[in-house]
């Protein structure tokens, strides 16, 4: 920095500020004494650009959205929340969390075995994860992430100036051996999806959760972040890891079950983590609209979503596609949620051939770091009569010349 300051004829503090800005924007990544390196691509939107342009007439199964037909109507809940807001308007200095929302959320967390902790409300799961990571980590710190995993998270981590360490996943969740290796190698945080993992549909089993707790017990200083966005759309039990380490956070989003536009997630965790998150939130947006929070309370209280029915509907669609693919000799994965992951030998070719045949799927490059190639098929709106034609088209797109297909673990 001193050399650059002398060469440019500026104050060293100016150079330091420029480096800091580049780290914050994800243009460079730092690696301690090994220095700083320019990233090959800007981090903020790299994976968002890996999209399929869907022409008219093509069936779009690429976007990862829930089935609109399974989302609840919002008008009544918001009307009631607005009326309540007219009677008791929320003003500056009022509590940022709706008391009834906190009570219902805490009751649900208690029922699922999530350790006791304060409750905060954020603008979705990704907002919660960003706040938790920034509350504990510094630029250059390493974060262990699932590979393949959520593309937005894989972009967020380097955008914060942090380094991603890939951890392989199978149908039961992250590999304990990979997690052990990542933490032993210096990763300061681990992010785990409990159920409905995007893109593979993985869900933590009881045995896998026990194995991961054993690994984490040897690294008690690890920041553990859990994402349970599958709440109310899956019928598999939760096997939470929360509380295994000193610093932990558990995020439960309303997006998949109640609607992405609600932009609401419930966050709990250890007292220090939540205190830091809430303190920083006060200096930014302040709070998530209490009208939105009250509307969600109405949706929860009135049973606007039947979790078992929604989970069964998604499960039938996943199982049907996986079964049809298996009958054609193709291995696919989708233990929970609304996506099916299909390992392929040639990702670009498979996506292009499917698009030409009238089906748009998501290229696996949006979700991968070092994992083998694949495609993600969102089955949330897949009709019964579409399953067999889609499986037949996928089989044809892979073709006999593609060679053996590797699994994603």
Q: How far apart are CA 297 and CA 360, in angstroms?
A: 36
Question: Residues 230-274: pLDDT tens digits?
Answer: 999 999 999 999 999 999 999 999 999 999 999 999 999 999 999
Mean local confidence (pLDDT), 166-173: 98
Mean local confidence (pLDDT), 155-179: 95
Mean local confidence (pLDDT), 189-205: 98
* CA 77 to mean position of chain CA atoms: 27
Q: Are strands 247-253 and 265-269 parallel, antiparallel or unpaired?
A: antiparallel
The overall average pLDDT reported for the chain is 92
Q: What are phi and psi of 170, to 5 degrees?
A: -130, -165
Q: 263 is written with which tokens? A: 């932009």
- Residue pair 380/338 in contact by the 8 Å Cβ criterion: yes
Q: How far apart are CA 93 and CA 397, in angstroms?
A: 58
Q: What is the pLDDT of residue 25?
A: 62
229 pLDDT above the threshold of 90: yes
Statement: the pTM of the whole predicted model exceeds 0.85: yes
Which long-range contacts link 180-187 to residues 24+ away (Cβ below 8 Å)? 180/215, 180/218, 182/142, 182/144, 183/144, 183/215, 183/216, 183/218, 183/219, 183/222, 184/219, 185/142, 186/142, 187/142, 187/143, 187/144, 187/222
Q: What is the pLDDT of residue 52?
A: 80
Lowest average pLDDT, out of 2-6, 196-200, 269-273, 334-338, goes to 2-6
402 pLDDT above the threshold of 50: no
R_g over Cα of the chain: 22
Alpha-carbon torsion (259, 236, 244, 181), positive or negative:
negative
Alpha-carbon torsion (136, 139, 142, 144), positive or negative:
positive
Look at the chain and count its residues.
409
Question: What number of other Cβ atoms are within 10 A of residue 42's Cβ?
Answer: 14
**Helix axes 347-356 and 384-398, enclosed angle (nearest 10):** 130
Banded model confidence at residue 17, pLDDT cuts 50, 70, 90: confident
127 pLDDT above the threshold of 80: yes
Q: How far apart are CA 382 and CA 320, in angstroms?
A: 10
Q: What is the pLDDT of residue 23?
A: 72
- Residue pair 203/173 in contact by the 8 Å Cβ criterion: yes
Q: 380 is written with which tokens? A: 């949330």
Per DSSP, 405 falls in state P
Using CA atoms in the order 186, 199, 296, 114, what is the torsion angle rounded to 10 degrees?
-40
Task: Give SS3 for 227.
Answer: strand
Per DSSP, 259 falls in state -
Token look-up 């054993």 returns 214
Q: How far apart are CA 36 and CA 276, in angstroms?
A: 28
Cα of first residue to Cα of last residue in the chain, in angstroms, is 42
Domains of the chain are 59-71+307-402 (3.90.1150.10), 75-301 (3.40.640.10)
Q: What are phi and psi of 223, to 5 degrees?
A: -80, 115
Token look-up 């699932």 returns 146
Q: How far apart are CA 351 and CA 360, in angstroms?
A: 7
Task: Give SS3 for 128.
Answer: helix
Q: What are the counts of helices (DSSP H) followed by strands (DSSP E) for the chain? A: 14, 15
Question: Residues 38-77: pLDDT tens digits?
Answer: 876 544 456 666 778 889 999 999 999 999 999 999 999 9
Per DSSP, 77 falls in state H
Q: 293 is written with which tokens? A: 């929070």
């Amino acid at each position: 920095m001193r050399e650059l300051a002398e060469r440019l004829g500026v104050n060293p503090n100016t150079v330091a500020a420029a480096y800091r800005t580049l780290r914050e924007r994800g243009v460079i990544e730092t690696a301690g004494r090994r220095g700083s390196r320019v990233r090959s691509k800007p981090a903020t939107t790299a994976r968002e650009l890996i999209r399929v342009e869907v022409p008219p007439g093509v069936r779009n199964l690429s976007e990862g959205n829930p089935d609109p037909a399974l989302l609840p109507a919002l008008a009544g809940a918001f009307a009631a929340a607005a009326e309540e807001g007219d009677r008791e308007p929320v003003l500056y200095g009022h509590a940022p969390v709706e008391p009834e929302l906190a009570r219902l959320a805490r009751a649900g967390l208690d029922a699922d075995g999530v350790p006791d902790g304060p409750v905060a409300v954020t603008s979705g799961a990704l907002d919660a994860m960003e706040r938790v990571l920034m509350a504990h980590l510094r630029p250059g710190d390493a974060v262990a992430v699932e590979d393949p995993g959520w593309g937005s998270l894989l972009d967020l981590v380097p955008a914060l100036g942090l380094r991603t360490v890939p951890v392989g996943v199978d149908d039961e969740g992250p590999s304990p051996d990979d997690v052990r290796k990542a933490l032993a190698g210096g990763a300061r945080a681990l992010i785990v999806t409990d159920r409905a993992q995007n893109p593979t549909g993985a869900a933590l089993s009881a045995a896998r959760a026990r194995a991961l707790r054993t690994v984490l017990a040897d690294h008690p200083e690890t920041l553990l972040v859990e994402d349970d966005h599958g709440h109310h759309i899956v019928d598999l039990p939760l096997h939470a890891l929360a509380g295994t380490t000193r610093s932990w956070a558990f995020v439960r989003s309303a997006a998949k079950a109640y609607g992405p536009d609600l932009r609401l997630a419930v966050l709990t965790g250890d007292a220090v983590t939540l205190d830091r998150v809430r303190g920083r939130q006060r200096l930014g947006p302040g709070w998530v609209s209490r009208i939105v929070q009250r509307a969600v309370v109405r949706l929860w209280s009135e049973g606007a979503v039947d979790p078992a029915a929604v989970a069964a509907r998604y499960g039938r669609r996943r199982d049907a596609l996986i079964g049809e693919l298996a009958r054609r000799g193709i291995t696919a994965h989708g233990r929970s949620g609304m996506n099916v992951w299909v390992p392929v030998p040639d990702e670009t070719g498979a996506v292009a051939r499917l698009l030409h045949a009238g089906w748009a799927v998501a290229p696996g490059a949006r979700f991968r770091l070092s994992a083998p190639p694949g495609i993600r098929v969102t089955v949330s709106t897949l009709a019964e009569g579409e399953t067999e034609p889609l499986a037949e088209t996928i089989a044809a797109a892979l073709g006999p010349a593609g060679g053996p297909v590797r699994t994603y673990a």
